[in-house]
Amino acid sequence: QQQVKQSPQSLIVQKGGISIINCAYENTAFDYFPWYQQFPGKGPALLIAIRPDVSEKKEGRFTISFNKSAKQFSLHIMDSQPGDSATYFCAALRFSGNQFYFGTGTSLTVIP
Amino acid sequence: DAGITQSPRHKVTETGTPVTLRCHQTENHRYMYWYRQDPGHGLRLIHYSYGVKDTDKGEVSDGYSVSRSKTEDFLLTLESATSSQTSVYFCATRRGETTEAFFGQGTRLTVV
């Protein structure tokens, strides 16, 4: 059973456009929702994260929007650049638990 | 970079042979994880450790075993490799009091 569902599987965006990746979860006990970025041949690295008591978090061009009632959260990449081309994973963690639950990933391609 | 080294980085092995992958960390993190990454499946947890000699199964643990005899080392063993275990394997660590997970560079394993 997939604890975190992610969409779309792939995304192509023009340079300067907005990239939006969505995730949904079922377990209301999750306490922490990170996004990881992975470049080819590398391991994933933390990009940005949010806790459920906050509806939005922004770091530079990257924003997480969190909707607790809908059990959904999304990553918005403003002014997308070719260097943002990567695979993005959303995840969820329960502080009392030991493991992260990852989405299936989104391959983002930003066309110059 | 949390000082995570995976070895080997690439391996080709024959069906039925045992294989051991090593994860070494220099940050004294409490938690260590083994994931496999496959197209369409994202990151799936194989096993994890929450302390020396303390391990637990993840969602895809069949055919795999782990050991952690020292804080810094987490070994993943494929007891009898099968073609379905061809994948990219990632080790990750997490310090107990923080929530960020740090990933290694990955090991590409091919079972022929």
Q: Give the domain range for residue A77.
A: 4-111
Q: How many helices (H) and strands (E) does chain A have?
A: 0, 11
Confidence label for B28 from pLDDT (cuts 50, 70 and 90):
very high
Give which of B79, B45, B50 is closest to B64, Cα–Cα. Answer: B79
Q: Is residue A108 within 8 Å of A39, Cβ to Cβ?
A: no
Contacts of A98 in chain B (CB under 8 A): 31, 48, 50, 56
Closest-CA residue in chain B for A36?
B101
Which sign does the torsion angle of CA A40, A44, A45, A50 carry? positive
pLDDT at B83: 97
B103 Cα to chain A: minimum distance (Å): 5
Asked if A42's CB is within 8 angstroms of B92's CB, the reply is: no
Question: Tell me, what CATH number does A59's domain have?
Answer: 2.60.40.10
Q: For residues A54 and B19, what is the distance between their CA atoms, to the nearest angstrom?
A: 45
Q: What is the pLDDT of residue A99?
A: 85
Share of chain A above pLDDT 70, in %: 99
Q: pLDDT of A16-59, one tens digit each?
A: 999 999 999 999 899 999 999 999 999 999 999 999 999 999 99
Please state, in angstroms and rounded to a whole number, the distance separating the CA atoms of residues A11 and A18: 11
Per-residue pLDDT, A35: 97
**A85 and B89 Cβ atoms separated by less than 8 Å:** no
State residue B97's pLDDT score.
60
CB B83 within 8 A of CB B97: no
From the list B40, B56, B105, the residue facing A43 with the nearest CB is B105
CB contact under 8 A, A34 and B99: yes
Count of domains in chain A?
1
Residue of A nearest to B50 (CA): A98
Stretch A61-88: mean pLDDT, rounded? Answer: 97
**Integer Cα distance of B9 and B29 in angstroms:** 22
B92/A43 CB distance under 8 A: yes
B64 touches chain A (CB under 8 A): no
Entry field: residues in chain B: 112
Question: Which residue, among A21, A30, A99, would best test binding to B if mutated, counting the most B CBs under 10 Å from its CB?
Answer: A99
Confidence of residue A2 (pLDDT cuts 50, 70, 90): confident
**Per-residue H/E/C for A35-65:** EEEECCCCCCEEEEEECCCCCEEEECCEEEE
B57 touches chain A (CB under 8 A): no
CA distance B4 to B106: 10
Mean pLDDT of A68-97: 94
- The minimum CA-CA distance between A51 and chain B, rounded to whole Å, is 11
CB atoms A46 and B50 under 8 Å: no
What are the tens digits of pLDDT across the range B72-89? Answer: 999 999 999 999 999 999
Structural domains of chain B ordered from first start? 4-111 (2.60.40.10)
The full 3-state SS of A72-93, as one line of letters, equals EEEEEECCCCHHHCEEEEEEEE
Residue B1, pLDDT above cutoff 60:
no
pLDDT at A96 over 60: yes
Q: What is residue A73's predicted lDDT score, i.e. its pLDDT?
A: 97
Mean pLDDT of chain A: 95
- Minimal Cα distance from A49: which residue of B? B100
- The confidence score (pLDDT) of residue A97 equals 76
Band (pLDDT 50/70/90 cuts) for residue B54 is very high
What's the pLDDT tens digit per position in A101-112?
A: 999 999 999 999
CB contact under 8 Å between A99 and B40, yes or no, is: no
Give the whole-number percent of chain A exceeding pLDDT 90. Answer: 88
